């Protein structure tokens, strides 16, 4: 309890510049933790949706029936569902137009699916740049607060007639708290970024593999009917 109170006292007694640095780091840490939890939910939901949709898609269901089922279900589609629906809708639309060959149908379908795929990947990558920024810059922000606090301590020491360790120890301790806060903000952000980037990379691979397989099915469908 005494250590907690002493750390709180060090924060309260810090210079205005160091306090501003600490406030920035606290804000960055709180924001990054909120992004960490929300991104965890997003990725988990995307993984579950991908598993469920792939099971339905490869179960042998008719593509038109699957499209109608997804259109009727009372929830917002996401991930592979959006890629499938965008591709199948464009495929069906182009095939109904007169004087358009199979190759032109496939080119239009592939273009629309690529747009939908990029949109889904952008959604997965949301907030990751912020985590990367916090992880890479927070230690330097904390170091700036530490350097500023140490400079202030030595400046006050230079005006004293008799220099003692007791005169500079509190100021240096206050400054080091800024470094600790910078690391506290950076470490979780870096760990979360690395983990989520890996999981998003796996989802990206699954999305791209599905898009290729789906285009192959549509290609056979376009050239046989």
Query: What confidence tens digit (pLDDT) does each residue in 96-140 have?
Result: 888 888 888 899 999 999 999 999 999 999 999 999 999 999 999
Cβ–Cβ < 8 Å for 108, 87: no
Closest CA to 221 of 57, 66, 105: 105
Copy the structure tokens of residue 215: 């285009």
Residue 148: what pLDDT?
A: 80
pLDDT at 3: 46
Q: Which structural domain range is residue 141 located in? A: 2-224
* Domains: count for the chain: 1
Q: At what angle do helices 16-57 and 80-95 cross, to 10 degrees?
A: 50
**Mean pLDDT lowest for which of 11-15, 48-52, 186-190?**
11-15
Nearest one of 113, 69, 67 to 214, comparing CA atoms: 113
**Other CB atoms within 10 A of residue 224 CB:** 7
The structure tokens listed for 217 are 């099915």
Which CA distances in Å does 141 have to 15, 116, 134, 225?
15, 39, 10, 64
Work out the pLDDT band at 34, boundaries 50, 70, 90. very high
Confidence at 161, pLDDT banded by 50, 70, 90: low
């Amino acid at each position: 309890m005494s250590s907690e109170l002493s750390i709180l006292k060090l924060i309260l007694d810090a210079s205005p510049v160091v306090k501003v640095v600490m406030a920035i780091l606290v804000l960055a840490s709180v924001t990054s933790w909120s992004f960490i939890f929300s991104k965890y939910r997003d990725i988990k939901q995307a993984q579950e949706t991908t598993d469920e949709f792939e099971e339905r898609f490869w179960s042998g269901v008719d593509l038109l029936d699957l499209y109608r089922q997804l259109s009727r279900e009372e929830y917002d589609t996401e991930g592979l569902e959006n890629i499938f629906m965008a591709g199948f809708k464009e495929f069906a639309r182009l095939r109904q137009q007169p004087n358009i060959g199979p190759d032109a149908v496939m080119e239009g379908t592939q273009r629309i699916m690529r747009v939908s795929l990029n949109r889904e990947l952008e959604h997965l990558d949301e907030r990751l740049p912020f985590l990367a920024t916090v992880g890479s810059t927070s230690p330097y922000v904390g170091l700036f607060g530490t350097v500023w606090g140490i400079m202030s301590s030595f400046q006050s020491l230079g005006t004293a007639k008799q220099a003692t360790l007791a005169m500079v120890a509190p100021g240096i301790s206050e400054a080091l708290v800024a470094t600790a806060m910078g690391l506290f903000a950076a470490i979780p952000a870096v760990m979360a970024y690395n983990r989520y980037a890996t999981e998003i990379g796996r989802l990206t691979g699954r999305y791209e593999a599905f898009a290729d397989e789906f285009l192959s099915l549509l290609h056979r469908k376009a050239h046989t009917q």
